[in-house]
């Protein structure tokens, strides 16, 4: 949940969001 909060605060852009999601998926 915290990730979402800081994610939106850092960059509410679809491109960056996609990149972050991809990175999280790889890490997980």
Query: Which pLDDT score, from 0 to 100, does residue 11 have?
Result: 56
Start-to-end CA distance of the chain, whole Å, equals 16
pTM score: 0.38
Residue 10 in contact with residue 23, Cβ under 8 Å?
no
Query: Which pLDDT score, from 0 to 100, does residue 7 have?
Result: 58
Written as one string, the DSSP assignment of 1-28 is -HHHHHHHHH---HHHHHHHHHHHHHH-
Euclidean distance between CA atoms 4 and 22, whole angstroms = 14
- Note the pLDDT tens digit of each residue in 1-28: 556 656 556 656 788 778 878 887 876 6
What angle is formed at CA 23 by the lines to CA 16 and CA 17, rounded to 5 degrees? 20
């Amino acid at each position: 949940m915290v990730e979402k909060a800081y994610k939106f605060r850092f960059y509410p852009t679809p491109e960056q969001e996609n990149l972050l999601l991809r990175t999280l998926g790889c890490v997980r």
